[in-house]
Amino acid sequence: MMCQLFPYAERVTRWLEPEQQRAWRAYVRMQGELNAHLSRQMSVDSDISMADFAVLVQLTDTPDERVRVLELARSLHWEKSRISHHVARMEKRGLVRRESCGSDGRGSFVVLTDLGRSAIEAAAPSHAEMVQKLVFDQITPAEVGALREISEKIFARLTTGECAAVVAGCDADDAVEVVPQEGGCPEA
């Protein structure tokens, strides 16, 4: 594939070194368990999923609590059809509603409802505490920095060059980073 071009002409596979192998396995396992745990916790004690949460965060971060569908897709790095389906499900549950856009006949807004607002307000604190307990209570401040550096470097590689364009329906706009993720809120 496009990401497969390699400096070596031949098909010499570069297998992972033992050290890398260990790190990779540890990372993969941790990441899987952490995701599972955070998802389960959120759905158990707030009755919304991580995906719902991410969408709701985007909405609450916007002054008038309404965002265009494709704007959501871009800031969440989701495909447009994923957003579309997900919003449909959330609408069914009353967390958001759709409104058509006057200035552009084909567009539509996703709007936060009262139910949606109270859902995220209920979910945020325990989610933040969970992240704190499961992640940041376990590692040193130096490791926090390292985690960020590592993540940023890898992420950068994923969004540059040949690898970037693969995401359909959501161009790597660039300036990126109005990242959805919750976490703490700087005391407003």
Partner DNA sequence: CGGGAATAGTTGACACATCATCCAGGTTCG
Partner DNA sequence: CGAACCTGGATGATGTGTCAACTATTCCCG
Residue 101 touching DNA (CB under 7 A): yes
Smaller CB distance to DNA: residue 43 or 60?
Answer: 43
Amino acid sitting at position 59:
L
Please say whether the beta carbons of 75 and 58 come within 8 A.
yes
Residue 70 touching DNA (CB under 7 A): yes
From 188, 182, 36, 34, select the one nearest 120 (Cα to Cα): 182
One residue of 107, 121, 169, 171 binding its own copies per CB under 8 A: 121
One residue of 17, 64, 114, 174 binding its own copies per CB under 8 A: 17
CB of 12 to DNA, least distance (A): 28
Smaller CB distance to its own copies: residue 9 or 103?
Answer: 9
First to last CA, the chain: 46
> Which listed option, its own copies, DNA, none, makes contact with residue 89 (CB within 5 to 8 Å by class)?
DNA
From 23, 13, 44, 67, select the one nearest 127 (Cα to Cα): 44
Residue 98 touching DNA (CB under 7 A): yes
- Spell out the SS3 assignment of 104-128: CCCCEEEEECHHHHHHHHHHHHHHH
Binding residues for DNA, rule: CB under 7 A, are: 36, 39-40, 49, 51-52, 68-71, 78-89, 98, 101, 104-109, 168-169
